[in-house]
Structure formats: structure tokens, C-alpha cells
Structure 1
Amino acid sequence: MSVAFSSGFASHIEAMLEWRAGLGYAQTLVYPMQSFDRFCTAHRPGETFVSRELVTAWCEEGARVQWPAYKAHAIREFGKYLKMVDIDAFVLPAEWINQPARSLPHIFTDEELTTFFLAADSFTACPASPFREYTIPVVFRLMLGCGLRPQEARRLHRRDVDLDKAIVLIEQTKRNKDRRVPIDAG
């Protein structure tokens, strides 16, 4: 693990993150656990028990609109992990975590798509990113035409695209799976 933890929970946090990585989970808990570790180091340096008071104090500290649910999910997973390895800990009840309201997806009209791609096609050269004017239109068309997720498109390399077979290899997607996506040769 390349992230250093220093609180009384450091070894348990590292073990949980390694355990989750071994199961194929994305490393989404690293940042909130870094925040928890810093909080414990600054405000509860000798603490070695995950109590209800500690959990609520950390979740409320520096609260923003979406951050408390993000923190709450991370600390709930940490509490569940500690219980699993026979360490007594408070596990935040799932009912205490606000679920974000689901909104309906926006389906773009033909006119909106035309406007969007005209804007993507209008990018000019930039010294900091010399191929930007070529990359942006292609990436967005791949996302639309092949159903790629933004993270999948961002992680593509040249070696992942086989134009002869009209296939794009997407590696390490959800659940650490690889998949082959056909592209329209036209």
C-alpha cells in the first residue's frame, strides 16, 4: 500500500484496504480512510476503539452536502471489517446513511448531440496538450458509440484499439473484468 496511515487504526485500515483490493473492489475508500486517519491523529491520538462517538464526530467534521454519506459509507465498511476480524467496533447502521435522490437520466436530443460534438470538434491545439484537438472528439464519440464509461475512455491506450478487427479492449473495468467492445468501422 503506497498510502501511509499514522493513527491508532493504521494497521487495521491498511489491512482492510488490502483485503478489499484482493476481492476486486475499487479503491474508493482510500481517501475517506485517509481523512479518518488524519482526524484520529489530530483529535483522538490514543484512540484504538471505533466508538459511536468517534464515528459521529468524524462524519460531522467539515460536513458538506454529499460528504457525510461518503464518509458514513466508508466508516460503516471499516466497522464491518473490524467485526469480521473479531475486533469490537461500532458499525454505523445503514439507515443512518442518507441515500442520494435518484434523478432521471437526461436523454440528449439530436440537436443537443450535434451542438455537443460541434463544440468537441472546435478544440484547438494547446501547448500543454498538443493532441487535444484530435483526442477530445474521438474520446467522446467512443463513449457515445461504444457505451464506454468516462473512466474507461480516460484509461485507454493505443495498444487497446485494434482497428483491423474493429475492437477496443477495455481493461480492469467494474469488478476488475476486461471486455472487448466492437467499434463501427464506418
Structure 2
Amino acid sequence: MTKPYFTGPFAPMCEIFVAQKRASGLVYDQQAMLLRMFDNFCKGHEIQNYTITKEIALDWCQKRLNEKDITRRSRVGEMQRFSVFLSKQGYPSYFLPVLPKQGETHTPYIFTKDELKRIFERLDTLIPTNASPNRHLTYPLLFRMLYGCGLRISEALSLTKGDVDAENGVLHILHGKNDRERFVPMSESLTTLCSQYLLAVHQSTPAEMPLFYTKSHTNYSKSCISKEFKGFLWDVGIPYRGTSLGPRVHDLRHTFVCHNIQRWAEEGVAIYSRLPVLSKYLGHTSVSATQWYLRLSAEVYPHIRQICETELGGMYTNILNFEMQEVDSDE
């Protein structure tokens, strides 16, 4: 007789959870192993009605001796996903949105629609220079792509001509953060702009040529783009407030996410059902990283808070109880 994979107090719910994940097409082997570790850990706790209490969650979150941050985040992230599942099954569980990252903290700057309009209008007035003969074509597309697709600047600058399927409007991110590969659909207007760009600057270039290339046919550096961006912000009256307050190029990605959540909330779309799709689109390793944006969106657009509270209940309240941390970066 085969020994059950899960043998702890959450075993029946773990089996259902993993079965659902695999039925959706996921392999879910490594995640199942992490979930089994959590289930075994809970053998030392008193479990009632398949509920993950605050005490259990915080005990599981404690960093272990010589444990790497990425390992800790992985096992805590799996507990978070399981907690969401249990709550949906009628077993209210404590919900920790994400572990803080070490290092730099940055307060995201969410651009208004008017600020974006001013930025893009400024970009559309650029003229070529001897040092940068394609800047009037490169920058309007690059910054629209960062906002319109929510790309990290490193991902955009790593794109090659061959990574762009202009016919179908899809970008191929071959090496995203943590070397994750994904395909990113573009809007119709962005696809059109991309096609025009390819015709203008890539008619005779090889497939491996950087999509955005300098006069010497090399990749732009992130520092170069950051410096240019600060200049464009100054031109349209948006002050740069320093390293911790920005705005930074990466804030275009934050703005993309918050604007989408704002639109879903105002249109009555079930936000939580869209988060897994948004998470994949952004290249996040887990939905928990994307959930952080619910709080950020509610702080920027207070009228969204009531919508989120109504839809997510206690899970959303728990999100608000934690300090906002930068859970998504371009590093």
C-alpha cells in the first residue's frame, strides 16, 4: 500500500489543493514538497477546522538557521497560497501578503493619467541628434512599452529584433527576472507603433540585434535610460524627489499594475480572479507578490478600498496590516 504523501493535520485539504493546481496544467512538484513541509510542521500545533492561525503563520515565517532568503520566501509563499485556498473553502485563515525584501526600500510613485499624457507628448517631440540618431523613434516606443506592458527596464533593453512578433503583437521575454521566460501580448496601438519602429530602424538588421540599440549598435544601459527619464520628467514639470521617492523608470511598471486594478474595480470585475493572470503577465514568481499591489492601489485610489474589502474580506484587511514593502524590483 502506497504511503500518503501528506500525513499532517491539513492532509485532506493539501491533496485537494495540489490536485486543483495539477488539473490546471501545473506540474506542482516542488510546491507540493513545500506544502508537505508545512503540513508536517503543523503536526506540532493544535489545528482546528483546517484553519491557519496567526500563531502558526508567524511561526512558519521565522527564518531558520543558515536559511537563504529566497528559500524562506518560497516556503512562506506556498503557505500564503494555501491560506488563500482554505479561505475560499470556508476555513478563514491568517494571510500574510509577502515577506519584506532586504535592501533598498522605495516608495512607488504612481503616475496620473495626465502625467503620462504629458510625458508621452514630450517624447513625441524629440528630434534626432548626432549622438543618438534614433532617439525620436526609440524613446517614444520604449517608454510606452514599459507602461503598456508593465515590463522591467532590464527586460525591455534585453529584447532583440527576433523577440518581437509584430504580426501577432507579442513580445518574447527570454530571460526575465530569475531567468523566467514568458510571452507578453501588446495592445493594438502598441503593436502598430512597434511595427512602424521596426520598419524605420530594423529593415536590414539581423534578428539578434537589440530592439533598442545605440549609435554603436549596442544595448542601452539602464543608467542611460534613467538619466534621460529624469530629464523628460523635468521637461514636463514632474520633479525628481530623490532615490527613495523617485519617480523612477520602474514606477511605470507599478503604474501599469495599479491602473489595471483601478479599472477592474471600477468596472465591477472580480479582482482576485484576475490576479493570477496579471501575475503571469508581469513575470512574478507567485501571486503573493502581485497581491501587494492591492494595498498600493487602495492607497492611491481610496475609493477602491471599499470594493476590495467587500470582495476579499479578511484577506484584504490582513494585507493592510503590514508595512508596505517593495516586492517587485528590476534587480
Q: What is the TM-score of this pair, normalised by structure 1?
A: 0.47
Q: What is the TM-score of this pair, normalised by structure 2?
A: 0.28
